Structure 1
């Protein structure tokens, strides 16, 4: 990459302490560091350790981490029986990060006295922490939203009085998942407690999205931002798009199995870091995978606790004899895995997913179709983007059935449809074509590369 010599510009990145948020801004930091920009990431000590533990495929030595201890916070286990799947058990850890306001001010004071310009990139949910940036004349702030442009557009449309829509959007609206049960009461109260009045001082918005994927919705959001005299930058995908095969001794053992499988023959099953599934549902899912007779890798981990290093993790029970019966057809993994590398492996032909935006962009980038099973937050609308708009996925469970126990028969049918049917093969072709276009967008002359160059040029002007 040709580097741009910045005129004494420093970048401060302020992520929200949930893995799906941390991951996105960590990868954006990696991209910006490639332009020889000094990058400073501010986190709590606990979540800084979490970030470094889970980095795969690149070395963050060029990034300055500033970890600050916060008061002890409760770190209860997730509740797999909860009807509303929003991770309430993480809220104490979210609140602990709000105490970073003073450390942020201290860091900003040091950097702003030495640099011509300090650029603050912060998660929307960290607006309270960064509000004092307005006191510095040489500081600019850019708000990051971790949702898809599709989901962000519909959130904005609902919050601005539901203005009239064109025909295509009217058609989508008829099937748009409701917001009901996407958030818990406590989760909604926490989000409403965030001081967003600071947004009026922002210099622009950053999306982890690509015009190749969501051009129409990025354009619509851009029009809304322009009315407020704001600039929008679509800099995604943030995740690496070129996967280098790991041949080191530390390579995860699952790849020994995956390397032996035929092209596009394996379904990857994972529900992210904030989903806790009931024992009863796990039994049905296991039986459905077994009955499908399709090859699979199942990452069977419970949701993260607020402090992932604190205490024991729930031991999840599989049906008796399950692993023996599936034999070489399936692999169950209980530790942290390098998801982009799995999705980028030639043997991976499908992804059963909760449709968190990290997982969605990684799957799209690698050209892998999705069996969608949304759980909470923005996931139902991300799932609709994948299945109904991009047409590169099917539902295992759509949002109208969120309270149902999904039977092994339904799981089996969805897996067979995605992995062993003509319809699934057509989706795989569409996903591969879209993934190729996204990967080309980051190359010289590609739309993402041009936009990222433009953003760096803007903040180093």
Structure 2
């Protein structure tokens, strides 16, 4: 007997930072497209943020979603500090401190849906595990975790020897230090959350077997996961990109005029900042590399991205830089349509902070990555794409995070991917992996990400 979807409610609860909001919204769209009632629950500001930055889908796709605004106490939204001694975005601390106060409001939503649904499926993440706790007290609710970072980073972070670390060592892959990946304040929040009971029926993850197949197998052998279900449903971002309606972003018109596979895209994360000195060195390296580029150079996100700035951020660049690059470079001072940029035929490489969202988007578009990690699990991601997948190179090694990277080294790394014959293998592997991932994500593919999504839907809606 085929299970009905009409009496199933899906509730997704993202953490209020761009890389999380975005992945959860993509997931919501994919689930909704299969006829499920999907409820996206977040503070009003962050719902607005997620919706305003959505790319790659027709504008109408979010009309079928149910958005629930979770009240949150007022919080400060300070400007980022590009000269901080650590790269973690400490401007988010006030938001993170109050975010868990949404829990009773979420509990009310779950209770209301529980009364009218055969089953309430709650999808949260480790940093919103209070949603799983609230689901656990309802008789007809099932909590699942959506992992927005690679499972390989978790396995690589385990202390001591494990099958995963043994594999990495056999391949000569270096596991980076976790020092300075988080601020002390955020580490305390993570520790507090992890100490609380977090039940789950299974795990969804924004990856696929082409990207993390060996690590998925290792993860399923972990003692605390035995007996649970794993659904590698990634990429959750669309891989057949549909441009947003007019007005079209100016950078896409500029890219249309560039030769195929000739442009370096540079975006070092929505919540990271460089000092003026480092920006000057990056600009000089770009200039000396003599490569076309699109550079997203804007103030990092605040806790509330819509808060009015006291002053417009002005970035110090080398004298005459804009005049010298006017025919070859474009600087974007605001939000950029990253998926549409990466999918453009003119793009040849992506200099990235290696947030997992950006990694998966770049991999799925077949674009080589120039890795410049900033915080969180990004040091691992940079090693993973360069040394394990071999679809990228390291720009700045994490061990040198306290240094200013000089223009000469930046220039040389750009040329390694964009110019030199030695980069041909990286470019070839990136293109081939992108094709494989897109095939996995396509409807009807064998053992595909689409099949994994359907498997989750079938499980969630079972009688």
TM-score tier (shorter) = over 0.9
Aligned partners of 2:132 and 2:200 also within 8 Å: no
Aligned alpha-carbon RMSD (Å): 1.8
**Offset at 1:228?**
3.8
SS of the equivalent of 2:197 reads helix
Aligned partners of 1:11 and 1:39 also within 8 Å: yes
- 1:448 corresponds to: 449
Per-residue CA deviations over 1:327-353 (Å, capped at 9, x if unaligned) read: 211101111111011001011000001
**Offset at 1:429?**
1.1
- 1:187 corresponds to: 186
Aligned partners of 2:385 and 2:391 also within 8 Å: yes
- 1:330 corresponds to: 329
Is 1:153 aligned to 2:150, yes or no?
Answer: no
Per-residue CA deviations over 1:3-49 (Å, capped at 9, x if unaligned) read: 98515111000000010111111111111111100000110112112
Distance in 2 (CA, whole Å) between partners of 1:261 and 1:255 is 10
- 1:356 corresponds to: 355
What is the correspondence of 1:78-227 to structure 2 with a 5 Å cutoff? 78-155=80-157, 157-158=158-159, 162-163=161-162, 167-171=166-170, 175-194=174-193, 196-199=195-198, 201-224=199-222, 227=225
Instruction: Specify which of 289, 294, 314 is matched with residue 292 of structure 1.
Output: 289
What is the correspondence of 1:304-323 to structure 2 with a 5 Å cutoff? 304-312=301-309, 314-323=313-322
Moved over 6 A (4+): none
What is the correspondence of 1:46-61 to structure 2 with a 5 Å cutoff? 46-58=45-57, 59=59, 60-61=62-63
**Offset at 1:271?**
0.6
Distance in 2 (CA, whole Å) between partners of 1:453 and 1:230 is 17
- 2:398 corresponds to: 399
Aligned partners of 2:6 and 2:36 also within 8 Å: no
SS of the equivalent of 2:39 reads strand
SS of the equivalent of 2:222 reads helix
**Offset at 1:134?**
1.3
Aligned partners of 2:272 and 2:374 also within 8 Å: yes
Q: Which moved more, 1:77-86 or 1:90-99?
A: 90-99
Aligned partners of 2:132 and 2:144 also within 8 Å: no
**Offset at 1:272?**
1.0
**Offset at 1:367?**
0.1
SS of the equivalent of 1:40 reads strand
**Offset at 1:310?**
1.2
TM-score by length of 1: 0.95
Distance in 2 (CA, whole Å) between partners of 1:166 and 1:190 is 27
**Offset at 1:166?**
7.2
Per-residue CA deviations over 1:86-132 (Å, capped at 9, x if unaligned) read: 11110211233211111111111111110100000002101134422
**Offset at 1:273?**
1.1
TM-score by length of 2: 0.94
Aligned residues: 454
SS of the equivalent of 1:290 reads helix
Is 1:65 aligned to 2:67, yes or no?
Answer: yes
- 1:18 corresponds to: 17
Go from structure 1 to structure 2 and tell me whether the alpha carbon gap of 1:295 and 1:35 turns closer, same or farther (over 3 Å shift). same
**Offset at 1:227?**
5.0
